[in-house]
Amino acid sequence: MKFVKRFLLVILGLLVVVAAVGLFLPQQVRVERAITIEAPAHEIYPLINDFHQFNTWSPWARKDPDTQYRFEGPPSGVGAKMYWTSEHPEVGSGNQEIVESEDNAFVKTRLNFGAQGEAHAYFNLSPEANGTRVVWGFMTDFGMNPVGRYMGLLFDSWIGADYETGLANLKKTAEAN
């Protein structure tokens, strides 16, 4: 009986330590990728400011071509909203809404993944000598959730490659116009 009691105390102690360490991990997570596209910002901006154009370059559209989409609000810009539903584990279901938009310079969206939480994504467009630098970023805040903070350590590897693929697709699409 003493062994079981000690074993349970050790397990409880480990859980307390893991939770405590989790509270010292970063609360906010940011993932960014960038690419230079040989096209002016006014040719790239419509591709990121209009969800109807999103799947021409989205990395997730290629992962599950059977994803169902629904659009609400204006066709582009602030208030435009896209809902998606997929059985594919890397696509899932959720929605995103454009919450900020500045012509040919910036787009910010609010992402809602249901029980998995909310996040924001953004695109910054800035002129470069041979085109436009496009930065695609993702940010979320895990608050006081230690499990979320541990998961945050993996976000760069989870979505970084998708962002790189998406930017390469965006480059190909924009440069073909």
Task: Tell me how far apart the terminal alpha carbons of the chain are, to the nearest angstrom.
Answer: 74
**What angle do the packed helices 41-48 and 155-176 form, to 10 degrees?**
120
Summarised one tens digit per residue, pLDDT across range 99-116 is: 999 999 999 999 998 888
User: Which comes out higher in pLDDT, residue 102 or 19?
Assistant: 102
Going by C-alpha positions, the residue among 153, 146, 142, 150 that lies closest to residue 19 is 146
Q: Which residue has the tokens 């582009």?
A: 76
Summarised one tens digit per residue, pLDDT across range 127-172 is: 999 999 999 999 988 887 777 766 777 778 889 999 999 999 999 9
Query: What is this structure's pTM?
Result: 0.85
Q: What is the pLDDT of residue 114?
A: 85
Which of these CATH numbers, 3.40.50.300, 3.30.530.20, 3.50.50.60, 2.40.50.140, describes 27-176? 3.30.530.20
